[in-house]
Amino acid sequence: MPTIAASNFTLDLPTLFAVTVFVTATGGLLLVFAWLQNRGTTALALWGIGYLLGSAGAALLGAPGLMPHSWTVGGANALLCGAYGMMWAGARSFEGRRNNVIYIGAGATIWIAAFQLDRFGQSQPAQIGLVSVIVATYALLSARELWYARDRELISRWPTLGLVVMHAAFLLARIPFAKPLALSVATGHPHGAFVTVMAFQALFTAFCLPFLRVAMSKERSELEQRKAAHTDWLTGVANRRAFFDRGEPLLQSALADRRPAALLLFDLDRFKHVNDTAGHQAGDRVLKAFCGLVAASTGPNDLFGRLGGEEFACILTDASMAQALQTAERLRSAFAATRFADLATGVTVSVGVATAGEAGRNLPALLATADRALYRAKAEGRNRVASAPLVLVDKGAENARRSAETPLPAIAASAAR
């Protein structure tokens, strides 16, 4: 039976190094190309430049005999430090934070200053140690930006964060292995298992991170599109579609847990008169001011949205009728006291309040009941709060009975609205 002779596997470090340089440059081009398709995401361009700088620096390190020592070592490591600074700048830009050129180039500046020292310039382990500290610091700063993210729901953010932290750990771990690394660079072959693992880790990181960062950018764009589809373009609060999509589950959850829930229905008084006399821009400012007032007074588990025109609704969780009326009155009085520079008089709001406290309730029924209370507030003179009955039963006979018992002024309120 034929046999296959076993042979020892030898890792060719220069070849693996060349592959890593090629993969890093390709990742940089991928990021730049992604930025050309989405110019609004400057982070992609910064990341791409960082990768291209890193590949250029790594290529210089791999060509010690082609250029003077100051270029291959001094210039190459300066490029590497600058590359990690650019990638940190990309992480900050992605989170909407401003960058400072001084901090981005601080690492490269420190390296260049240290390389001018004769003793440091002749100690390769010291050089490896300093570069490792600089680039690991930038990597950890990038990880910090990922951790304190504004859109934590991006799925690709978490593997990106894990990979950046792992890469920073390997960079710091190079410091105690500086001598074996220096020997590996000099001979072109790995000396010790850590050098081999480090080489493969660098290749793995160079390959994966560009794709993860492009994925983050794509997720961000999709998230912004979804938010835009559920956000009122003028006021920034939930639009009608979002209010119903999110309001029904919110209401059902409260009812299932036997927790009280209240709905406040707002309508700005004589808003058409504001637009006719002061112009639509003034009307827009009034709407924004009202939304800002309500949004600042609601909790994180509440829901506030614009149903259309000058009509708004707010679901208060864990709020009884008394608490809802207190909140509505506070908002009404605060808005009535608000003054606008281009309006001679203030603008007021009428509020209808309804609560749900039993199974079988749904958002359309609660809105209909709050709307009846709002009509009554309008009919009674506007700029006031009116409440609906505490107990609501979704039965045709009961609804008919309640309609018959509604005061006559509420029926004529639609004309006065």
How confident is the prediction along the chain (417 residues), in pLDDT tens digits per residue? 344 344 454 556 778 888 999 999 999 999 999 999 999 999 999 999 999 999 999 888 876 656 666 678 889 999 999 999 999 999 999 999 999 999 999 999 999 999 999 888 788 888 889 999 999 999 999 999 999 988 888 999 999 999 999 999 999 988 887 776 666 655 555 556 777 788 889 999 999 999 999 999 999 999 888 888 899 999 999 999 999 999 999 998 988 888 889 999 999 999 999 999 899 999 999 999 999 999 999 888 899 999 999 999 999 998 999 999 999 999 999 999 999 988 888 899 999 999 986 434 789 999 999 999 999 999 999 999 999 865 444 444 344 334 434 443 333 333 344
The first and second tokens of residue 48, run together, are 């791409």
- Cβ of 101: how many Cβ atoms within 10 Å? 9
CA 73 to centroid of chain Cα atoms? 39
Give the integer Cα–Cα distance in Å for 165 and 102.
Answer: 24
- Output the pTM of the full model: 0.71
Sheet with 311-317, side-by-side order of all strands: 303-308, 311-317, 261-268, 349-356, 385-387
* CATH number at 13-229: 1.20.1070
Cα torsion 124, 125, 131, 135: sign: positive
Hunting for tokens 């210089």 — which residue is that? 60
Give the integer Cα–Cα distance in Å for 265 and 285.
Answer: 20
CB 267 within 8 A of CB 255: no
Helix (H/G/I), strand (E/B), else coil: 238: strand
Helix (H/G/I), strand (E/B), else coil: 315: strand
CA atoms within 13 A on the CB side of 236: 10
Cα torsion 179, 181, 186, 187: sign: positive
CB 87 within 8 A of CB 46: yes
Instruction: Find residue 303's DSSP bridge partners.
Output: 315
Strands 311-317 and 303-308, bridge-based pairing: antiparallel
Length of the chain: 417
CB 267 within 8 A of CB 319: no
- Cβ of 340: how many Cβ atoms within 10 Å? 15
Q: Which class would CATH give 240-416?
A: alpha beta
Give the integer Cα–Cα distance in Å for 373 and 416.
Answer: 14
- Cβ of 136: how many Cβ atoms within 10 Å? 20
Residue type, 351: V
Give the integer Cα–Cα distance in Å for 176 and 182.
Answer: 12
- Cβ of 249: how many Cβ atoms within 10 Å? 11
Residue type, 64: P
Hunting for tokens 């009202």 — which residue is that? 290
The pLDDT, as a whole number, for residue 400 is 38
Q: How many Å is the Cα radius of gyration of the chain? A: 32
Cα torsion 231, 237, 239, 244: sign: positive
DSSP 231: B
DSSP 261: E
Give the integer Cα–Cα distance in Å for 25 and 17.
Answer: 12
Q: Where are the domains of the chain?
A: 13-229, 240-416
Give the integer Cα–Cα distance in Å for 108 and 156.
Answer: 30
The pLDDT, as a whole number, for residue 46 is 97
- Cβ of 304: how many Cβ atoms within 10 Å? 20
